[in-house]
Amino acid sequence: MSKNAVYAPLFDLAGRRAIITGACGTLGPAFAAALAEMGASVVVSDIDASNAEALAAELAQAHGRRTLGLSCDVSNATAVDEMIERAVQAFGGIDILVNNAQAANPNPSRYFDPLEHYSFEEWRRRMSVDLDGMFLVAQGTARRMAKQDTGGAIVQIASIYGALGPDQRIYEGAGFRGAPINLPPVYSAAKGGVIGLTRWLATWGADKGIRVNALVPGGVESGQNDEFVKKYSQRVPLGRMARREEVASSLLWLVSDAASYVTGQTIFVDGGLSAW
């Protein structure tokens, strides 16, 4: 690195301590790998303890960083507090939160029910993780960050469908891992709430040195059938779905000092879909 380097050091995360919730989902492993590669110590949190521990071990071996795998149900306030306390005890503080957890789909047929028959029980189950859990983790982490002289950076993972209505036509004939899919209203409502929560937290945290932004990925290839991929890609100016590392690269910017004057923003990584 040049002795006069100005910009490269801004992306260096050496010494930073990060928590990632939902770390074993679609984007979580890419987020964790990106942070570890850039020097951060990483707490890998997921509802499945064995998966979290396995991912933490993999990261430690690949990148030589301190890691910790923890189980956490983010819809449970006590579990969230315990997870954050264990992270602080292990690493001494929290500099980065990637608030990424969302509910699993143990019964896809209920999750993808049409509006006319959508169960309020299923609505509440999803909201308890996708929005309530976001609040609980952000609240507990921000409380810790506010006590630190260094503040911190929080990135909340939202979605284009928290800001845009879905094009229902792309779901005609769409499938995911062999089952038909659609875009349920609860998903849009939760992700829209994440964006609003992000803006509130950003104004609350500004004088405490805590930056809070929402990262808004477009569609990422993760097992959808060819029909969906084709139709979705036709709606995107860049003509394709996103790759995981493209979303993770944007995350790295937001949590780094390169984005030190960026807070309260909704950053779209969607191939231009929202520009139509």
Name 175's Cβ contacts closer than 8 Å, sequence gap at least 6.
181, 224, 225, 227, 228
Which pLDDT value is given to residue 116?
94
Instruction: Give CA–CA dist 271/218, Å, rounded.
Output: 7
- Quote the DSSP letter at residue 146: T
Which pLDDT value is given to residue 192?
98
Which pLDDT value is given to residue 1?
62
Strand-pair category, 67-71 with 96-99: unpaired
**Residue whose tokens read 């306390």:** 85
For residue 84, which phi and psi values (nearest 5 degrees)? -65, -40
Which pLDDT value is given to residue 50?
97
* Amino acid in position 53: E
For residue 55, which phi and psi values (nearest 5 degrees)? -65, -40
Domains of the chain with bracketed CATH: 13-107+125-165+184-223+243-268 (3.40.50.720)
- Mean of the pLDDT values across residues 258-275? 98
Instruction: State yes or no: pLDDT of 105 exceeds 90.
Output: no
- Mean of the pLDDT values across residues 200-212? 98
Which among 252, 251, 253, 246 is positioned nearest to 270, based on CA atoms?
Answer: 246
Q: Rounded to 5 degrees, what angle do the CA atoms 11, 16, 17 make?
A: 140
Instruction: State yes or no: pLDDT of 178 exceeds 80.
Output: no
Confidence of residue 242 (pLDDT cuts 50, 70, 90): very high
Which of 61-65, 101-105, 136-140, 250-254 is predicted with the least confidence, judged by mean pLDDT?
101-105
Mind listing the pLDDT tens digit for each residue in 112-134? 999 999 999 999 999 999 999 99
Helix 28-37 vs helix 244-255: angle between axes, to the nearest 10 degrees?
A: 50
Helix 185-205 vs helix 120-130: angle between axes, to the nearest 10 degrees?
A: 30
Name 258's Cβ contacts closer than 8 Å, sequence gap at least 6.
7, 10, 11
The torsion defined by the Cα of 123, 126, 130 and 133, in degrees rounded to 10, comes to: 110
Instruction: Give CA–CA dist 119/221, Å, rounded.
Output: 28
- Residues taking part in catalysis: 187
Confidence of residue 228 (pLDDT cuts 50, 70, 90): very high
Whole-number mean pLDDT of the chain?
95
pTM of the model: 0.95
Proportion of the chain above pLDDT 90, given as a percent: 89
What's CA 221's distance to the chain center, in Å? Answer: 16
Higher pLDDT, 14 or 176: 14
Which among 154, 142, 144 is positioned nearest to 254, based on CA atoms?
Answer: 154
Mind listing the pLDDT tens digit for each residue in 90-99? 999 999 999 9
| Cβ-contact 66, 49 below 8 angstroms | no
